[in-house]
Chains A and B, each alone.
Chain A
Amino acid sequence: QSALTQPPSVSGSPGQSVTISCIGTSSDVGHYNRVCWYRQPPGTAPKLIIFEVNNRPSGVPDRFSGSKSGNTAYLTISGLQTDDEADYYCASYAGDINFVVFGGGTRVTVL
């Protein structure tokens, strides 16, 4: 069982927006502004798309955005494209002992 809770799947049509939630606790998501999101297409290594809640590394399109409210973080994908189909994982810093905890992943399907 993962430390952070994500929905197993979300879906949307091309051009639509989808939002993935990531529920943590006051010891991780709620305590630190250090939430990351990773995108993993089938058979490939994950890729960092959001860090520190709402920052994008160079080269990540602004269709991907992050936010946080209390113990829950969110990833929104706008203008959904067929190659956005992938698994998306949230992660949060959780202090010096646990360091990083992950969510169980959300499969995004483009209808």
Chain B
Amino acid sequence: QVQLEQSGAEVKKPGASVKVSCKASGYRFANYDINWVRQATGQGLEWMGWMDPNRGKTGYGQMFQGRLTLTTNASISTAYMELNSLRSEDTAVYYCVRGLRFLIGGDDAFHVWGQGTVVTISS
């Protein structure tokens, strides 16, 4: 079945960087967008950015411009989210999500979700 398996929990100090991986299985990786969405404890969802693995195109939310880098390694069907200059407000669960529609670059329907990665920023 279609699955996204994310890397484990991270604890980082303010100012550091974190890189979360998201390994896809059960479908052809290049055919669907990967988005990243985060959720602070008890809070709502916040879209961060997206990547089209087929064309290598990316889009970043304005709040994350300059701090967020999305990449993929198609040979191992894995997407990566790297966030720099971490601050306490970045403490959240980070989700990778596969788009719903086949070969639609910029798919805004988030269909298959990873299990989430808890990132804690603490000095």
Contacts and interface: CB of A to CB of B under 8 A. Distances in A.
Contacts, number: 57
B116 A99 contact: no
Interface string A21-63: 0000000000000101010000001111001100001000000
B111 A57 contact: yes
Chain A contact-residue range equals 20 to 34
B119 to A, nearest CB: 15
Contacts of A110: none
B44 A98 contact: no
B8 interface: no
B47 A51 contact: no
B62 interface: yes
Given A57-B111, A99-B61, A99-B106, 9 more contacts: A2-B44, A38-B110, A45-B113, A46-B110, A46-B113, A91-B108, A100-B47, A103-B44, A104-B44
Interface of B: 35, 44-47, 50, 59, 61-62, 95, 100, 106, 108-111, 113-116
Interface of A: 2, 34, 36, 38, 45-48, 51-52, 57, 89, 91, 93, 96-105
